[in-house]
Amino acid sequence: MATKIKKTILYVLLIALALMCILPFWLMIVNSTRSGVEITHSFSFLPGKSLRDNWVVLFDYVNLFRGLFNSVKVALPATLLTAYFSAITAFGMAMYEWKGNNLLFRIIVIFMMIPGQLSLIGFYNLCQKLHLIDSYIPLIIPAMASPGIVFFLRQYVKATLSKALMEAARIDGASEIHIFHRIVLTIMAPGIATMSIGAFIGNWNSYLVPLILLNTPKKMTLPVMISTLNAATDLQKNQGAIYLGVAISVVPIIIVFCFCSKYIISSISAGSVKE
Amino acid sequence: MAVAKKRMKNRNNAAYLFVLPFIIVFLIFSVYPVFRTLFLSFTTYKGYGEPEFTGLANYIRVVKDKFFWRSLYNTVKMWSLNIVLQLGLAFLLTIVFSDIKYKIRGLAIFRAVYYLPNLIAATSVAFLFKTLLDWKYGTVNQILLASGLVSEQINWLGQKSTAWAVVSVIQAWMWFGNSFIILMAGVQGIPNDYFEAAAIDGAGRWKVFGSITLPLLRPILLYVAVTSLIGGLQLFDLPFLINGVAGASTAGEPGGTLQTVVMYLYKFGFETRQVGFASAIAYTLFFIILFISVMEFKFLGGKED
């Protein structure tokens, strides 16, 4: 009996904690449907009727769909590049013997531990020299080299791909690159998917680098665009519109999460698995 | 035999082609910038023209700069409260969910919900809480007033005593689910035999936790502590946006208490364009992170080989 009561208390606490994770988002959705006056006067847990008005106020100031579109234009190719080139690099490192393989592995491990702020200024300086300021190229191309993902996929190939299978393919006359495209990619798919979703969310949410690189308002990605709401005094008067703007930026990620939460959670656990 | 060897060699040569694109991009966009920052830290570079060499002058300026130390103090303070709350909560949850006696169900759902705040861009989180915590009209103060917990609105983000703690708590809110997932994966990786053997020996819950779970989790704990430190000391988005007025956000209002090291770096690197000085800040922070990481390895890593 005592166990049962304790167990109930535990469930109540766990659910309370879960509510604390959801409540701010719920309030966000509720407030994005209420007028500025309603919001300043009282709170509510139920939606109001001013969604359309807030929408008009918000989009008068900023076209969030452009930001959404820009974010897709950056995050999607970056993620695809990360997926393909991390996989092929991991494959080359795990299944072949070549000079410098170990050295590359060591350098990758070191760079996994180096904080991003260390390269920030040098990176900006490089982009200046290459005339890549205000371009999407420095937001996309560097995704080809993601040390952490190569590290993970290298372990993954080693664990899942057998040399016998590759030998069999070779006897059938397949070239090495052919083996990679036809056989290895399929076998690696779950690992690649796990890493890609993590990479996509990282790209999608990235703020500091797009902030320093992009100058033209039209080119801004969603997080940078959201941050410009700070300057909008008209919007500050109408909190409903601010909530709506934040809600629009949050919804795509929540949709991705609903479909891929399993992959996302295994990508987090994967990070801590030791060799 | 010779033919086979030659074929093997050709085969391994293919690997160079596989890794080459990675290596080229890695050298240009990852390795070069790190060394470029190092080089610039020894110069008076202002964002244009030729960098002029000044030796260690920038580093001496960093060490003597009380605002740098204040920003470091702020960052460490915000990280400390965050890591205590985040790890403490994650730990409690791990204990609850791994308890053999209670057999709590719904791990997958709870885990997903606890992780939700981590998915959202810090920019959106900053705006959401900035608006919810508004002094006069924020929903949080309205709820607190209505429930009678406070008698007047609290200026959460406007006063020095609460603003930094609010940022820490939001950080913990964003990250505890992440730590929980990692710790839980660690516990699930412990072979069941250990727990069964302990049960046969009649070991109690806390005994099992203290002598089996905790020691076996130590490397994972170390991983969480080190990655959280690397991320935490680079805190930028949240304090930069949560209180900033456009164009002057790097000040870290109220009273500079929210100014983190990377905000300080940003101020010099991208606003006042003292790029050499900003680079020296980056490297000083790097060495501080390195030093604390080594300390963490010493304390948490134990005598592992």
Helices A147-160 and A185-205 pack at an angle, to 10 degrees, of 160
Q: Considering chain A, what percentage of its residues have pLDDT values greater than 90?
A: 51
3-state helix, strand, coil in chain B (%, to 5): 75, 0, 25
Q: Report the distance separating Cα A31 and Cα A169, nearest Å.
A: 59
Instruction: Report the gap between the CA of B181 and the closest CA in chain A (Å).
Output: 6
What are the pLDDT digits (tens) for A109-120?
Answer: 999 888 889 999
Instruction: Look at B14-28, B117-131, B186-200 and tell me which has the smallest mean pLDDT.
Output: B186-200
Strand partners, B53: B43
Helices B139-146 and B122-132 pack at an angle, to 10 degrees, of 40
Number of neighbouring beta carbons within 10 Å of residue A274: 8
Q: Considering chain B, what percentage of its residues have pLDDT values greater than 70?
A: 95
Joined together, the tokens standing for residue A150 give: 């190569």
Q: Is B245 on the interface with A (CB under 8 A)?
A: yes
pLDDT for residue A238: 77
Residue contact A223–B119, C-beta within 8 A: no
Residue contact A119–B30, C-beta within 8 A: yes
pLDDT for residue A227: 85
The mean per-residue pLDDT over the stretch A250-266 comes to 83
Residue contact B33–A122, C-beta within 8 A: yes
If contacts are CB pairs under 8 Å, which of residues 139-158 in chain A contact chain B? 141-142, 144-145, 147, 150
**Which ipTM did the prediction report?**
0.89
pLDDT for residue B2: 65
Predicted confidence band at A78 (pLDDT cuts at 50, 70, 90)?
very high
Residue contact A27–B132, C-beta within 8 A: yes
pLDDT for residue B3: 67
Amino acid identity, position A100 = G
- Chain A residues with CB under 8 Å of B143 CB are 43
Predicted confidence band at A184 (pLDDT cuts at 50, 70, 90)?
very high
C-alpha distance from residue A167 to each of A178, A183, A194, A214, A216 (Å): 13, 12, 27, 49, 53
Q: Report the distance separating Cα A207 and Cα A200, nearest Å.
A: 14
Write the residue in A92, A145, A201 that is nearest to B29 by C-beta: A145
What are the pLDDT digits (tens) for A27-71?
Answer: 889 989 988 888 877 788 888 888 888 898 888 888 899 999 999
Nearest to B205, CA basis, from B97, B93, B92, B99: B99
Joined together, the tokens standing for residue A152 give: 């993970």
Length of chain A: 275
Q: Report the distance separating Cα A272 and Cα B227, nearest Å.
A: 10
Is residue A252 within 8 Å of A201, Cβ to Cβ?
Answer: no
Joined together, the tokens standing for residue B2 give: 């010779």
Q: Report the distance separating Cα A226 and Cα A220, nearest Å.
A: 9
Residue A86 has pLDDT above 90, yes or no: yes
**What stretches of chain A show up as alpha helix (H) in DSSP?**
2-31, 36-41, 51-61, 64-95, 101-113, 117-129, 137-140, 147-160, 163-171, 176-179, 185-205, 208-213, 222-227, 233-237, 239-271
pTM: 0.90
What are the pLDDT digits (tens) for A220-250?
Answer: 999 998 888 776 666 667 788 888 988 988 8
Distance, C-alpha A101 to centroid of its chain = 29
Number of neighbouring beta carbons within 10 Å of residue B61: 16
Q: Is B3 on the interface with A (CB under 8 A)?
A: no
pLDDT for residue B192: 81
